[in-house]
């Protein structure tokens, strides 16, 4: 296991404290990151239905496709009898669903009746809980009152343990190595796909001391006029002189992520790009200087906005979000967003991706910084220079 038995016990206890606050008798967890967080289970199995049953009292039970459940003990601390595989015949059938079978097994294991006295939390907005899966539970267990648990486990994950922080530091080593490869290979005449191939190789290989994991999101590389759109991937086109290139990637280590974004100009930057990049760089530096425990999230946004407004600019999208453990399609935790409407106050060992992304018309600029809130201020996870990189040849 990557974490101690005591740490897993505290994660479960913290989850159950939140369950009690919300009046929940049990949770049904579909998010693979939350399943990993509570059990250690780690496999590319989430493309088929799987669910973790977390009762307020008693043992957790993990249900997965039979071929994925059998080797579950390889990564999870759960006892073998609590990792249950549903039959293969339930996969991709139009009129039955694996959660029909899971509901039957919950009855067999006598967990239905005790839970009937309260509400059952479901991750209603999880990427891997389908409407059909939800309907299967509602139809099979009508005596349960299903409610949205509102990313309950995600919020438990918000403050990291020292062991988690160490994994994120190692992920940052991988991110830095991958970004260095990108800046070394982006050149006029190079194919976008070849650059991303080199970046992806660096993400997986890591360094001699830290091997990489697969990232939750592929490298994103909007180029030229298309750099005004933040989430475009690569093409087979060749880089041209005068193009701006925005690269956002992440280092991943044992499923923990540290994302990083930098921008490149192939030649001389326009006056507008210089203005926007200078403003974003100044804003990110000002926000980083203000980070410490006790500072409200909205204060970070106020500082950023004040810098941008002084340059006659504004950024409608959020300034960042919490990060940590992640699986495709997202490395964010889906909890805190750095925006003026968020009421969160910074605490030690919260971790974020701060994004100075400016997507204008026909061009864009992005500079981001992954960081940890330390006891006295901020710990940037990387030491990459915060500036526009100019490549003249």
Domains and CATH numbers, the chain: 5-156 (3.40.350.10), 162-391 (3.90.230.10)
pLDDT value of position 301: 98
pLDDT tier at 148, thresholds 50, 70, 90: very high
CA distance 69 to 67: 6
Q: Would you state the pLDDT for residue 340?
A: 96
* Cα 130 from Cα 198, distance rounded (Å): 35
Read off the pLDDT of each residue in 18-26 and give the average, rounded to a whole number.
95
Calculate the CA 227 to chain-centre distance. 23
| CB distance 210 to 170 below 8 Å | yes
Q: Looking at residue 113, what is its pLDDT?
A: 63
- 3-class DSSP state of 340: coil
Q: Quickly state the pLDDT bin for 379 (edges 50, 70, 90).
A: very high
Distance in angstroms (rounded) separating the CA atoms of residues 290 and 299: 9
Predicted TM-score (pTM) above 0.75? yes
Look at residue 118 in the predicted model and tell me its pLDDT. Answer: 77
Q: What is the mean pLDDT of residues 370-393?
A: 95
Counting every residue written for the chain, the total comes to 393
**Residue 225 pLDDT > 60, yes or no?**
yes
| pLDDT-based confidence at residue 136 (cuts at 50, 70, 90) | very high
State residue 110's pLDDT score. Answer: 73
In this predicted structure, the answer to whether residue 116 has a pLDDT above a threshold of 80 is no
Is the pLDDT score of 117 beyond 70?
no
Stretch 219-235: mean pLDDT, rounded? 97
pLDDT tens-digit series, residues 160-201: 999 999 999 999 999 999 999 999 999 999 999 999 999 999
Per-residue pLDDT at 120 exceeds 60: yes
What's the confidence (pLDDT) of residue 352?
98
The pLDDT-based confidence of 107 (bands split at 50, 70, 90) is confident
Helix (H) or strand (E) holding 320: strand 320-327
At residue 121 the predicted structure's pLDDT band, cuts being 50, 70 and 90, is very high
The rounded distance, in Å, linking the Cα atoms of 140 and 86 is: 16
Q: What is the pLDDT of residues 287-312, one digit of tens each?
A: 999 999 999 999 999 999 999 999 99
What is the pLDDT confidence band of residue 108, given thresholds at 50, 70 and 90?
confident
Q: Do residues 196 and 234 touch, judged by C-beta distance below 8 A?
A: yes
pLDDT tops 90 at residue 393: no
Share of the chain above pLDDT 70, in %: 98
Kindly tell me if the per-residue pLDDT of 103 is higher than 70.
yes
Segment 240-263 mean pLDDT: 98
Based on DSSP, count helices (H) and strands (E) in the chain, helices before strands.
11, 14
pLDDT at 371: 98
- Alpha-carbon span 329 to 235, nearest angstrom: 20
Taking all residues of the chain, what is their mean pLDDT, rounded to a whole number?
96
pLDDT of res. 265: 98
Q: Please tell me the predicted confidence (pLDDT) of residue 115.
A: 56
Q: What is the mean pLDDT of residues 71-97?
A: 95
Question: Which spans in the chain are helix H?
Answer: 5-22, 32-39, 66-69, 98-108, 112-115, 131-140, 152-156, 162-185, 192-205, 271-290, 297-310
Residue 2 has pLDDT above 90, yes or no: no
Q: What is the mean pLDDT of residues 76-89?
A: 96
Rounded Cα–Cα distance for residues 261 and 371 (Å): 13
Three-state DSSP state, 16? helix
CA–CA gap between residue 105 and residue 235 (Å, rounded):
47
What are the b/e assignments for 128-153, b being 16+ CB within 10 Å?
A: bbeeebbebbeebbeebeeeebebbb
How confident is the model over 217-238, as a mean pLDDT?
A: 97
**Helix, strand, coil distribution of the chain in percent, nearest 5:** 40, 25, 35
> What share of the chain in percent tops pLDDT 90?
95
pLDDT (mean) for 335-351: 98
- How does strand 364-373 pair with strand 351-359? antiparallel
Q: In angstroms, rounded to a whole number, what is the distance separating the alpha carbons of residues 121 and 116? A: 12
Please give the Cα distance from 215 to 219 (Å, whole number).
9
């Amino acid at each position: 296991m990557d974490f101690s038995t005591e740490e897993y016990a505290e994660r479960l206890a913290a989850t159950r404290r939140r369950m009690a606050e919300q009046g929940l008798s049990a949770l049904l967890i579909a998010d693979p990151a939350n399943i990993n967080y509570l059990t250690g289970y780690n496999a590319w199995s989430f493309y088929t239905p799987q669910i973790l049953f977390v009762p307020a009292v008693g043992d957790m039970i993990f249900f997965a496709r039979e071929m994925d459940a059998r080797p579950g003990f390889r990564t999870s601390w759960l006892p073998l009898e609590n990792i249950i595989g549903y039959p293969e015949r339930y996969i991709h059938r139009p009129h039955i669903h694996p959660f029909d079978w899971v509901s039957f097994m919950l009855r067999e294991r006598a967990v239905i009746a005790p839970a009937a006295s309260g509400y059952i939390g479901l991750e209603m907005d999880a990427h891997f809980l389908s409407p059909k899966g939800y309907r299967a539970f509602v139809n099979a267990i009508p005596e349960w009152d299903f409610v949205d648990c509102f990313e309950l486990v995600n919020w438990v994950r918000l403050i990291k343990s020292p062991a988690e922080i160490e994994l994120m530091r190692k992920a940052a080593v991988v991110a830095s190595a991958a970004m260095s490869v990108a800046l070394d290979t982006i050149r006029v005449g190079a194919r976008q796909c070849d650059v991303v191939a080199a970046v992806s190789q660096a993400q997986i290989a890591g360094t001699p001391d830290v091997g990489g994991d697969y990232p939750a999101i592929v490298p994103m590389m909007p180029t030229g006029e298309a750099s005004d759109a933040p989430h475009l991937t690569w093409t087979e086109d060749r880089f041209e002189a005068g193009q701006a290139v925005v690269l956002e990637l992440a280092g991943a280590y044992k499923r923990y992520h540290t994302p990083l974004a930098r921008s490149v100009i192939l030649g001389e930057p326009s006056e507008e790009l210089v203005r926007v990049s200078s403003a974003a760089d100044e804003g990110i530096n000002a926000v980083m200087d203000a980070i410490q425990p006790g500072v409200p999230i909205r204060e970070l946004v106020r500082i950023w906005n004040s810098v941008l407004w002084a340059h006659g600019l504004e950024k409608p999208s959020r300034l960042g979000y919490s990060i940590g453990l992640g699986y495709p399609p997202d490395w964010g935790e889906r909890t805190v967003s750095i925006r003026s409407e968020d009421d969160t106050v910074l605490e030690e060992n919260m971790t974020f991706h701060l994004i100075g992304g400016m997507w204008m018309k026909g061009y864009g600029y992005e500079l981001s910084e992954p960081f940890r809130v330390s006891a006295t201020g901020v710990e940037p996870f990387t030491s990459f220079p915060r500036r526009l990189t100019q490549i003249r040849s």
